[in-house]
Structure 1
Amino acid sequence: MKKLRCIIVDDEPVARKLLHEFVEQVPFLDWQGSFESAMKADLFLSHTTTDLIFLDIEMPKISGLQFLQKLDIDSLVILTTAFPRYALEGYELDIIDYLLKPFAFSRFLKAVHKAKDYFQLKHGATTSLSPSYLFIKSEKRIEKLELNDILYAESVGNYVRIYTERKTILAYLTMKSLESQLPVEQFIKIHQSYLVNGSKIEAIEGNEIKLGGKSLPMSRNYRDALMKLVHQRLLKR
């Protein structure tokens, strides 16, 4: 599916920074900008479209709910606030979810997956249309790479080293660019420097992932997303 373009609207710098960090950890989100007021966000939206808005409620001059009431665009909205009393009013305005500060990355991930599922349903997106291969520029040639052959990818500065069961390719692209071309249901980031094919994981031991005879480090920041994928496929007694 296409990445969900998103913006952050919050008058607190710390909250904007945290949300931005969370967004950067989700491959299907594409951050467009952060705004300290509803007025600045409104100016941005007057000439640019976005798919998803993370919106604070209690802000100076124009509150998040006032902004939402006058919003005349077809964007999904997730409210982010420290005050639970606005939940009912928020849902009456057709928000996707209501995140009560402070919230963990796992709760954030649940909200954005809900937004993604709704967006796919609304726009008729289907993962069956996802390509099964990529063309990768490497050295002086362009190689066709089957997605199911990929074990993992490693960020190396402005390049990405892609490991398969048969060979290693040094690709002339960034990790973020590679992420945007891979199906999020199959490929998941386990570390700032590593992206793995979930179907190739052999074992998880502590903070390490075993696959292809290698051990890769798993960052705490990405553990929640990986464990969500694992639990979805975990056989229950």
Structure 2
Amino acid sequence: MNCLIVDDHVIARSTVSHLLQIDPSLKLIAECESAAEAYQNLAIHKIDLLLLDIEMPGISGIELVKGLSEKRPLIIFISSKKDYAVTAFDLNVVDFITKPITPDRFLKAINKAKEIYSLSSLVLGNHQDDFVFIRDSGVIRRIKLDEINYLEAKGDYVKIYSDEKIYSIHSSLKSIEDKLPGNIFIRVHRSFIVNVGKIDTVEGNTLIIHQNFVPVSDAYKAVLNKRMQIL
């Protein structure tokens, strides 16, 4: 994983940099002393994991995360103050480490990030394919499109609901939407994409798929009605 360290204290950056060397699968791309410098690196490099301090001059670590796009890196907050933990986890970060950092605690957070990272990615060859590949717990699995009932965004994850199983992958819903064939799937809510052929009933702003209730927002309702070709 490509890593970026962001901390205004040089000793803290050096400590994290040294700990990253424990795991050869981690590649340090850069060390940043401010959020502004971090934004510059994020724009240039593909960063998979952000190791981020919270209290920094100017833009804080929390503000930095809020300013990132939907497709953001995995994030581990590192702070000397436990008071930020609740706010940090509300941002769906991987972990929150309290300074001073111990190797054991650091590796625990890294292993957690690596596990999430291994779940990521959904791949489509082209829209003529009737299946997708997903990475599920380190194993690449093929799922037929007609087995997918709907997808739900959950923080940094997307849950894929089929009749047999629920899969979780680390991705944004927008990224997956771009890879799914538009003649089969439609966005019905900020957090939901459904397989049109799986819709059983629609009642107001709720549709039912195999006894599961999926909300439909007003912004997508007209498009959904047109797509369903209601008689």
What TM-score do the two structures reach when normalised by structure 1?
A: 0.51
1:16 counterpart letter in structure 2: R
With a CA cutoff of 8 Å and minimum separation of 6, indicate the structure with the bigger relative contact order. 1
Deviation at 1:81, TM superposition (A): 0.3
- Identify the residue that residue 52 of structure 1 maps to in structure 2: 49
Q: Does 1:43 align with 2:55?
A: no
Contact 2:2 2:28 in 1 (8 A): yes
| Matched residue, 1:169 | none
Larger Rg: 2
- For residues 19-44 of structure 1, the C-alpha deviation after alignment (integer angstroms, 9 at most, x for no partner) is 00000111221110100000001011
Q: Distance in 1 between matches of 2:102 and 2:62?
A: 23
SS in 2 for 1:54: strand
Work out the CA distance in 1 between the residues paired with 2:137 and 2:72: 20
Mind listing any 5+ residue stretches in structure 2 that lack a counterpart? 122-134, 141-231
Partner of 1:174: none
User: What is the one-letter code of the residue matched to 1:14?
Assistant: I
Q: Is the 8 A contact 2:75 2:95 kept in 1?
A: yes
1:90 corresponds in structure 2 to 88
Residue from 2, 23, 27 that aligns with 1:26: 23
Counterpart of 2:109 in structure 1: which amino acid?
A: A
Structure 1 residue runs of 5 or longer lacking an equivalent are: 130-237
**SS where residue 105 of structure 2 aligns?**
helix
What is the DSSP-based 3-state SS (H/G/I as helix, E as strand, rest coil) of the residue aligned with 1:49?
coil
Percent identity reads 34
Deviates more, 1:13-22 or 1:117-126: 117-126
Supply the RMSD in Å over aligned alpha carbons. Answer: 1.5
Aligned partner of residue 88 in structure 1, secondary structure = helix
Matched length: 126
Q: Is the 8 A contact 2:6 2:13 kept in 1?
A: yes
| Superposition pairs of residues 74-89 of structure 1, within 5 angstroms | 74-89=72-87
Structure 2 counterpart SS, 1:6 = strand
Map of 2:118 onto structure 1 = 120
CA apart distance, 1:128: 6.6
Runs of 4+ in 1 over 6 A off after TM superposition: none
Q: CA deviation at 1:45?
A: 1.0
Tell me the equivalent position of 1:109: 107
Q: Secondary structure at the match of 2:93?
A: coil
Q: Do 2:95 and 2:109's aligned partners in 1 also have CA atoms closer than 8 Å? A: yes
